[in-house]
């Protein structure tokens, strides 16, 4: 168990209007920090005022992108209590990220304790307007000043918190997605299955292209054949075709999303068949033409459940469910957010109370 030192901010920032939070614009008064030094391990866990950090310009994170991050949320329930959603899953995923890019692992219980303690300190920042939450961003950076390529010998683990509303401007309305067939996101043996900043840097050119064409995000195809659908910029993606659900397997190139995993569990509980398999984009476009592509939705912590109303692949456009949110997409959204905001009994045991 961490012995977290508290050196909290003496001043309090003005809180933003909860009706206009959007995503990732505001930060709370304090943040969590813990250091790592080779030979000593993780040490000096503390909560300090939210502030700039000072790093040597040669810090390895700036040059070789040895960095990991996570995203999870704290929710205020109707009775005023605060809860997290499956924080241990984020902690475990961070460990798998760290194994791949040679960062020392943060113990699961320390990750969860750090997040819970910061949320407890920042209780007043958890918004209560519908569809809002306190987004938590745990991340680790390599801090050793060294220009040779090797794993850093020092790191910082930090958690910052940001009150948020919907990730997309569209809110819960369907989004338009552009299928990227020029650049790829991940190849087998690479880093597609982990959450590291470099994956997102490499996605920006496609995202800008998609935005310029009027699309919210890109849908990535596999990096070998550019044929099979994988994931969207900031979410996993599901297709309902002829009554069955399909989503890409997370073996190697796709991020194992916590919301993805939770949706699969819910869909199976409701009796649906969910196939985690490679599905070709041409088969999806054909299903759309044949009237069999019933629903498409993305899943993610930031994006929650996001209905997809249009897919563009090359010069072809598939309009899904008349650009309306599908019934199961809506049911998943209602169930998942119902559990998260404490409106529905948590039969799945997914929520964790913050004292």
Question: Least distance from C-beta 93 to ligand COI, angstroms?
Answer: 10
Choice between 61 and 255, CB closer to ligand COI: 255
For ligand COI, the closer CB: 115 or 302: 302
- Taking the complex as a whole, the smallest distance from the CB of residue 285 to ligand COI amounts, in Å, to 26
Closest chain position to ligand COI (CB): 71
> What six digits make up the tokens of 79?
């009775």
- Smallest distance, Å, CB 167 to ligand COI? 7
**C-beta closer to ligand COI: residue 264 or 293:** 264
Q: Closest CB to ligand COI among 143 and 234?
A: 234
Site for ligand COI in 248-307 (CB under 6 A): 300-302
Show the site string, 102-131: x = touches ligand COI by CB under 6 A, - = not.
Answer: ------------------------------
For position 186 contacting ligand COI by CB under 6 A, the verdict is: no
Nearer to ligand COI, 186 or 241 (CB): 186
Whole-angstrom Cα distance, residue 139 to residue 115? Answer: 11
Asked if 71 is part of the footprint of ligand COI (rule: CB under 6 A), the reply reads yes
Q: Is 234 in the site for ligand COI (CB under 6 A)?
A: yes
Residue 28 or residue 234: which is nearer to ligand COI going by CB? 234
Distance between CA 304 and CA 130 in Å, rounded? 14
Dihedral angle of Cα 55, 56, 57, 62, to the nearest 10 degrees: -60
Contacting residues toward ligand COI, per CB under 6 A: 71, 200, 234, 300-302
């Amino acid at each position: 168990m961490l012995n977290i030192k508290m050196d909290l901010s003496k001043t309090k920032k003005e809180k933003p209007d909860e009706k206009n939070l959007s995503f990732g614009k505001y930060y709370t008064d304090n943040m969590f920090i813990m250091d790592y030094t080779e030979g000593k391990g993780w040490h000096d866990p503390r909560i300090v005022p939210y502030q700039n950090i000072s790093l040597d310009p040669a810090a390895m994170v700036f040059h070789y992108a040895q960095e990991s991050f996570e995203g999870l949320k704290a929710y205020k329930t109707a009775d005023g209590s605060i809860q997290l959603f499956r924080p241990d899953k984020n902690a475990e995923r961070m460990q798998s990220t760290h194994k791949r890019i040679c960062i020392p692992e943060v113990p699961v219980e320390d990750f969860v304790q750090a997040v819970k303690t910061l949320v407890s300190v920042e209780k007043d920042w958890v918004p209560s307007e519908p569809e809002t939450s306190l987004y938590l961003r745990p991340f680790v950076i390599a801090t050793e000043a060294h220009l040779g390529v090797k794993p850093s010998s020092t790191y910082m683990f930090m958690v910052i918190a940001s009150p948020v509303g919907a990730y997309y401007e569209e809110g819960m309305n369907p989004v338009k997605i552009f299928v990227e067939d020029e650049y790829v996101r991940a190849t087998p043996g690479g880093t597609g299955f982990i959450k590291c900043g470099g994956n997102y840097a490499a996605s920006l050119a496609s995202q800008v292209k998609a935005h310029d064409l009027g699309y919210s995000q890109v849908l990535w195809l596999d990096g070998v054949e550019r044929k099979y659908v994988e994931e969207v910029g900031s979410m996993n993606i599901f297709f309902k075709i002829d009554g069955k659900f399909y989503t890409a397997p997370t073996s190697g190139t796709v991020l194992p999303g916590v919301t993805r995993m939770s949706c699969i569990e819910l869909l199976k509980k409701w009796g649906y068949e969910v196939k985690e398999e490679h599905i070709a984009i041409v088969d999806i476009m054909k299903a759309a033409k044949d009237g069999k592509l019933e629903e498409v939705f993305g899943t993610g912590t930031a994006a929650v459940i996001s209905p997809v109303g249009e897919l563009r692949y090359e010069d072809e456009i598939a309009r899904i469910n008349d650009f309306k949110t599908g019934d199961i997409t809506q049911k998943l959204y209602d169930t998942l957010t119902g559990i998260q905001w404490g409106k529905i009994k948590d039969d799945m045991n997914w929520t964790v109370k913050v004292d």
